[in-house]
Structure 1
């Protein structure tokens, strides 16, 4: 069984998806809502798979001072998970440890594999709206023969990084992430495999890919990420041709 560690920040305006707010029609508050919707869909993909969800939140002492509020980060993320899943009695909710994302991811993976004896661990940022239980389960199958399984995304990103053996996580998520992670796996003497490419959302340009995919799936009667689709519908986000592809809203 793979532990799917979804790395979650409290969905606060300016803290999450700040680049999206600067490069799209979304405000900082709306970008934070978009982040929360995608996180919810990541939680659902994990619990519907054959894996085990770990909600791995960034605690207050690791947040920039301006984003620390009266509501603890743990409470904000736990409330988001509870709103998605209801009963959290079977869901692990634990804080991240480390000063950088590389360190936090490495600490989580190394602790679960080495100290707790888990078979495999996946690192998920929660900004890949088309992550599904099928992808999680496919990665778990590949981990039986390759100790590192990666999910490539646009611009050299990685939306899913799973390990059955640890690597050197120092600067392992340095851009381009997918290439760097694969190189670290190779340097550790491990086989590396991949699951299909999926888009992630960080900037307005990413919406030029994500929105048409989402609308196309809905038109075709295929499964869509429930919470992300609801957010997009409420704001009326879509891509139009105005000399060049442009994101617009109602």
Structure 2
């Protein structure tokens, strides 16, 4: 059994992608909608693989008080699955446990490998819309001969982390998680393999890369992440030359 875990927060303004609204044309409400779209694209990609989808959400009691609402976090992420999946019942939903992101991810991976005896556990952060079924399947093949497989994003971030055994997760997702996880694997004597880099979305500059790539793929009539691409089109997001000639994300 292989389990693919989507680690996510309920898509609430100000809670998700907190730096994006400050560095892009999107509002806090827009960044929440974008986070929801990327989560749905990830769910759909995972559903099309042979792995089991586990949506691992941060529950109300682990959210900052200002981001708690009358609607439960579980209800919100279940609603995303209902939009994304033909059969939402195939997804499992489990609350995260732990005081830090490293602890929460570590607890989930360790439980699945040791208690549920999963053959491998892959964690997706939901920070890139370009996670595809072929990419996830490629990672699964690499996990047959490596204990750890990592997908690098911008600035030493990760969008994918796969494991066939546990590591010391104490500070594994501290910045930059790509290095910390590789170091933790080395400490255990594990082999680490890497996936192709994918653009992640945390800032306006990073979103500009994603928008340019989506626009290019649409022009070339290639497959695009459906939910994210729909938002890009709806909002009229484009990348143009700024006054100094550098790329600039604009909203038309």
Normalising by structure 1, we get a TM-score of 0.98
Matches within 5 A, 1:209-228: 209-228=209-228
Structure 1, residues 182-205: CA drift from partner, whole Å, max 9, x if none? Answer: 111011111000111101100001
2:161 maps to 1:154: no
- Which whole-Å CA distance do the structure 1 matches of 2:208 and 2:155 have between them? 13
For 1:95 and 1:77, how far apart are their aligned partners in 2?
11
TM-superposed CA distance for 1:86, in Å, is: 4.3
Which residue matches 2:96? 96
Aligned to 2:249: 247
8 Å CA contact retained: 1:51, 1:136:
no
Q: Deviations over 1:33-55 (max 9, x none)?
A: 00000000000110011211101
Unpaired runs of 5+ residues, structure 2, are none
Deviation per CA, 1:83-119: give whole Å up to 9, x if none: 2114322211111111111001000000000000000
Gaps of 5+ in 1: none
The alpha carbon displacement at 1:80 in A equals 1.2
Query: RMSD over aligned Cα, in angstroms?
Result: 0.9
Match of residue 61 from structure 2: 61
Deviation at 1:180, TM superposition (A): 1.1
Q: Are positions 1:21 and 2:44 aligned together?
A: no
Q: Measure the CA separation in 2 of the matches of 1:175 and 1:220.
A: 35
2:113 matched to 1:117?
no
SS of the aligned residue for 1:136 comes to helix
Distance 2:236 2:2 in 1: 36
User: Would you say 1:139 and 2:107 are equivalent positions?
Assistant: no
